Chains A and B, each alone.
Chain A
């Protein structure tokens, strides 16, 4: 026992501060937050606080606006994932065979990632101006001037698909990142595999179908998890482009902030917990998967 402690005592001590911090700030606070969501603390300074079970969750799921914001989140995530995966893959595919000036293309495709959502929101709010015709600005004006006037639309003010317009700047910012992932994936495929398939007489499509796509699937999984969890947390972009009061771009993270500013801590905490559960559906299988992989490779 003593020997064991002497062997692993020091490393445990070294990592202990971080463990305590994460234990308190992540796991502990998730617990406290969940606890708050079960109370009737609807005011900033609430004298007596009573437990109301899952009432806050029930009210939320009966609230049309909250349901609308969940649907918005789903649409946004679908558009964001599809956009980044398609563009990221196409860019990587165009670059992977080796082109002159690859470094330059790569750098330009990636640069939006260095910019904050708030800063890119400034320019995208201008680009996604919803005025049309003579008053049109931004992209609508560009469409008008280049004879593509039929493409003009309401952008983020459309009640059904407005939130998808918010995904455009997100795609602009993150596609380069997904490209970098896919490019690394492409280049991790041994040349011998491709050659072997060619020798066997595989067509280009069969080569992709049976050799390249399977080899890229771990990368695609990483991309889906990284982009997906960012997408579910979308907040900054909407604040910068549409603001917190705009109805067509409501998502849970925005509503959580609005309830917080109103002092309705219980409701705000409940939205936070719901968001955590949604993200956990994506993240926990991924963490379990990577944990198993680690064990296998050790």
Chain B
């Protein structure tokens, strides 16, 4: 695996010149498509349940009709879910957007310095940073709660922005570093010879060609901050927290309101699903950059 590539899915996963379907008999091919379709249905099964159950009325909730379509398509569950989740949705956006932008900027600067404007010990520093990506946050949580209180960062959105920025540094640095490693060093050297300083080189040479990496990092941070539950649980509550908190609150109530829970799960997932559907190619590219390395 090369460290340099920051591929979109199409590049990373393109068939390597072999033409489709030249291997195997008709029977083999049939089996292959049958298996692929079977797995497709299995993967889609939970999505079917979510969708169908969210439109069921209360009378439709009997176990015997569990897998059937709704007798009548009702949106009451969606209304109940929206009531609980809509304030949290706004808060989540106001938390996730600044968090992603700030951590992308930090990652870009770090990645540049670690790949194209190096200093002694850069590799050790990079490895030390990477470690932060893998730690279980449980191992810092108790003093972290104390620290955030001492710093006076309010619970809820402000705390979560700080946390997602700080603990996002390793992954964003990794993605940018791998991306910058792939651009020709000559480009940077030329600017250096011309007497441009570091900041000048960064802002006029490197930053303008960073768009692909920014897209990947922004998607990555957006998704992981949106889907976070652990930090949200420790640093917010259902009145000032993100949508994962409100969703779990809605879904784990004493009354099992399945249609509202399922509608809520769909509402809470919609932003990341949309990002994934519209920008999926880069999303996968980000996954590859975040893992296939070394």
Which residues from chain A sit less than 8 Å from chain B, CB to CB?
A: 7-8, 10-12, 14-15, 17-19, 21-22, 24-27, 29-30, 32-33, 36, 87, 90-91, 94-100, 102, 105-127, 131, 134-138, 141-142, 145, 169, 172, 176-177, 180-181, 183-185, 187-191, 218-219, 222-223, 226, 229, 232-233, 235-236, 239-240, 243, 252-253, 256-257, 260, 265, 268-269, 271-273, 275-276, 279, 283-284, 287, 289-291, 293-295, 297
Contacts and interface: CB of A to CB of B under 8 A. Distances in A.
B24 interface: yes
Contact of B106 (A18, A115, A138): A18
A239 B232 CA distance: 13
Interface of B is mostly: helix
A15 B269 contact: no
A108 B43 contact: yes
Contacts, number: 318
A265 B142 contact: yes
Contact of B268 (A25, A119, A141, A176): A119
A253 B136 contact: yes
A19 B122 CA distance: 12
B230 A235 contact: yes
B229 A118 contact: yes
A239 to B, nearest CB: 7
25 contacts: A14-B113, A15-B113, A15-B114, A30-B139, A97-B18, A98-B18, A98-B19, A98-B20, A100-B21, A106-B284, A110-B276, A118-B227, A122-B261, A127-B46, A142-B67, A185-B292, A218-B1, A236-B229, A236-B230, A256-B138, A275-B136, A275-B139, A279-B135, A287-B127, A294-B294
B155 to A, nearest CB: 15
Given A30-B135, A123-B50, A272-B140, 14 more contacts: A22-B170, A25-B147, A87-B39, A97-B23, A100-B20, A100-B21, A121-B248, A123-B46, A137-B66, A172-B46, A191-B16, A240-B251, A272-B136, A290-B130
Nearest to A227: B291
B63 A11 contact: no
A136 B66 CA distance: 9
B159 to A, nearest CB: 13
Residue with the greatest number of chain B CB neighbours at <10 A, chosen from A25, A27, A190, A223:
A25
Contact of A145 (B20, B53, B67, B276): B67
Interface in B51-91: 53, 63-64, 66-67
Contacts of B117: 10-11, 14
A17 B102 CA distance: 13
Contacts of A96: 15
Given A33-B142, A118-B229, A184-B12, A8 B119 contact: yes
A290 B294 contact: yes
A126 B251 CA distance: 11
Contact of B276 (A111, A124, A180, A191): A111
B113 A11 contact: yes
A127 B136 CA distance: 29
Contacts of B97: none
A124 to B, nearest CB: 7
Given A19-B125, A106-B13, A279 B136 contact: yes
A14 B3 contact: no
Given A15-B125, A94-B32, A109-B43, A115 B141 contact: no
Contact of B140 (A26, A121, A226, A240): A26
A168 to B, nearest CB: 10
B139 A25 contact: no
Contact of A105 (B36, B45, B120, B226): B36
Contacts of A8: 118-120
Contacts of B23: 97
Interface string B176-210: 00000000000000000000011100000000000
A25 B144 contact: yes
B144 A29 contact: yes
A273 B134 CA distance: 14
Given A235-B230, A239-B248, A283-B134, A222 B269 contact: no
Contacts of A273: 139
A20 B268 CA distance: 34
B129 interface: yes
Nearest to B44: A108
A21 B106 CA distance: 11
A141 B53 CA distance: 15
A180 B13 contact: yes
A295 B123 contact: yes
Contacts of B266: 119
Given A98-B20, A114-B223, A116-B272, A36 B143 contact: yes
A14 B105 CA distance: 12
A117 B227 contact: yes
A268 B142 contact: yes
B153 interface: no
Contacts of B100: none
